[in-house]
């Protein structure tokens, strides 16, 4: 929760109870980076699996929508502590997450991001699908995706 509060403003950050619910129901969809020297969490990526194709805001708050065998992963947060930014950690988290979920037979990853993050996610291989229907935190978001398995 400490990293979530650092990385997102209050209107966008995941509430403690929702994060606890995510960990309880979908811990396998968390990927955590630990600094080997300090033992401190440097960042993490998390999501839920669903059969749905489009991102919707309810994924952030309603863990009952998680379908463990769902072919699409809705990414709910990529958090990297400020002191670890610019080192390629976010890219490495996304790359490892893609590989892990591809091996599990997932079809695609979907995320929403603010306009100023579109370029970063494009560099990671995501395609911009344009403005999302999401209005999470009162913001305008872009929906982006990356295909992992076309036949899944």
Q: Is 27 among the domain residues?
A: yes
pTM over 0.85: yes
Domain that holds residue 75: 2-147
pLDDT for the residue 31: 98
Q: Is 152 among the domain residues?
A: no
pLDDT digits (tens, 9 = 90+) for 15-60: 999 999 999 999 999 999 999 999 999 999 999 999 999 999 999 9
| CATH code where residue 48 lies | 3.40.630.30
pLDDT digits (tens, 9 = 90+) for 106-152: 999 999 999 999 999 999 999 999 999 999 999 899 999 999 987 65
Q: Is 45 among the domain residues?
A: yes
Report whether 19 contacts 9 (CB < 8 A). Answer: no
Q: Is 42 among the domain residues?
A: yes
Q: Is 104 among the domain residues?
A: yes
Q: Is 83 among the domain residues?
A: yes
Residue 98 has pLDDT above 90, yes or no: yes
Domains contained in the chain, number? 1
Q: Is 51 among the domain residues?
A: yes
């Amino acid at each position: 929760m400490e990293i979530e509060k650092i990385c997102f403003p209050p209107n966008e950050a995941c509430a403690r109870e929702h994060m606890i619910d995510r960990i309880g129901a979908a811990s396998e969809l968390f990927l955590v980076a630990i600094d080997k020297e300090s033992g401190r969490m440097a960042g993490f990526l998390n999501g839920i699996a669903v059969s749905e194709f489009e991102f919707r805001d309810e994924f952030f708050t309603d863990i009952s929508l998680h379908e463990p065998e769902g072919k699409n992963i809705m990414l709910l947060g990529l958090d990297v502590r400020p002191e670890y930014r610019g080192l390629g950690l976010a890219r490495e988290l996304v790359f490892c997450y893609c590989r892990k979920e591809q091996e599990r037979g997932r079809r695609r990853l979907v995320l929403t991001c603010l306009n100023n993050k579109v370029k970063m996610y494009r560099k990671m291989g995501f395609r911009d699908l344009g403005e999302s229907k999401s209005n999470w935190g009162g913001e305008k978001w872009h929906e982006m995706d990356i295909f992992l398995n076309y036949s899944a």
